[in-house]
Amino acid sequence: MSWPRDDAKLERVRALMAEEELDALVVRAPDNVLYLTNFWGMKGYDAVVFPREGEAILIALEASSDDAERSAWTKDVRFLKGYDERDPRPPTARTLELATDAARDYDRVGLELSLGTQASDRMVGEPTTYTRDWFDAFPTASDAAPLLARARALKTAQEIQRIRLANDLCAEAMDYVRAHLRAGMKASEAAALWQGFVHGFGTGYRGQVELALGFSLVWSGPGIRTFTATADRPVVENEPTLFEIWVCVDGYWCDHTKNLVLGELSARYVELEHQLTEVYDAAVAHCRPGASLPDLDRLVREGIAAAGYAGQPSHPVCHGVGARAHEPPYAHQAGTGTVEENMVLAIEPGIYWDGGGGLRLEDNFLITSEGAEKLSGFPDGIVRV
């Protein structure tokens, strides 16, 4: 899918570069390459030299020339071969050579020096990272990672449209699973139902999605344990089957947790759902422009403690979503910052029982002048099958 150049986004990046007196950014993380050029590479061998003035330079694999022609916002694309018989060094070494050549006329360069995470390329399963040579080639570079995080925290109209696509597809996949979930099937089979729908139905979705990929963690009943992988435990009746799910459509993401139950929900889960919904609703209501992010973390954790579960959850309770499933800003008591209009935030309080079982609620919310707009059409809470 070819999107028109998002000038609002690029102008914001350049304004931040001017504040920090940077002449150019040199980026290689696939999500930042996508953010600045709309090109989502296959193997992470790509890079961008993004000047404060003038056209960006995209460095990409020759095998991806059709993709670059179709999707990239810059016409200055410099290609390298995956294997070059004249220069058999690894392709990342030749990417670096092209990047240093493209950046040679810029005095003050920003480099991604402090990335916490990065989204992957279109192959997804094996992110490419660079060796020390990449950083040594720009010995006086400033750290551009905070600048890019600031820029990316506020979404443009086009980015919101792309995130909505991911949210809509994620909800349709949950509707599909809701119609096909059966007691006794393995949690991994339930996950496969959801993932297969996202990839199969979502690729070509509404004529706007070139590639859709789904990622999931699925647990049921006593198998619900945060930070564990999907297993072969069975889907049980009368207790939730929890879907921790991410959809990526052409490099833009959503991040949800949805819950289904077969049969009548057990009494202890009825109580837990009520307790967690109160915390969740209070967190959503808090998210208005100007609201404190550290206070949001306190609000959620104090509410969970009041329900009898002090010290939970072990995962963040709120983070940004965009060209990664998890990106700044994060709500953390040790941090700073405020909720701002045009942020997209995942809000995700959770409570987990010793020995297994528990519940998490999560959706993505667009921050408007009026408050938080829920982006997924699939219900929160525990949905009856």
Backbone angles phi, psi at 153, to 5 degrees: -65, -30
CATH number of 157-384: 3.90.230.10
Class of domain 7-152: alpha beta
For the chain, what is the mean pLDDT? 97
DSSP three-state, residue 302:
helix
What are the residue boundaries of the structural domains of the chain, listed by start?
7-152, 157-384
Write down the pLDDT at residue 1: 64
Write down the pLDDT at residue 123: 87
Over residues 304-344, the pLDDT tens digits come to 999 999 999 999 999 999 999 999 999 999 999 999 999 99
Over residues 155-210, the pLDDT tens digits come to 999 999 999 999 999 999 999 999 999 999 999 999 999 999 999 999 999 999 99
Q: Quick check: do 7-152 and 157-384 share a fold?
A: no
Helix segments in the chain, DSSP class H: 7-19, 30-37, 65-71, 91-102, 132-136, 145-153, 157-180, 187-202, 267-286, 293-306
What's the mean pLDDT in 261-290? 98
Taking the alpha carbons at both ends of the chain, their separation in whole angstroms is 35
Q: Which of 264, 257, 243, 249 is nearest to 177 (CA)?
A: 243
Over residues 58-71, the pLDDT tens digits come to 999 999 999 999 99
Over residues 206-237, the pLDDT tens digits come to 999 999 999 999 999 999 999 999 999 999 99
Are 43 and 63 contacting, i.e. CB atoms less than 8 angstroms apart? no
Write down the pLDDT at residue 101: 98
Over residues 111-161, the pLDDT tens digits come to 999 998 999 899 877 888 889 999 999 999 999 999 999 999 999 999 999
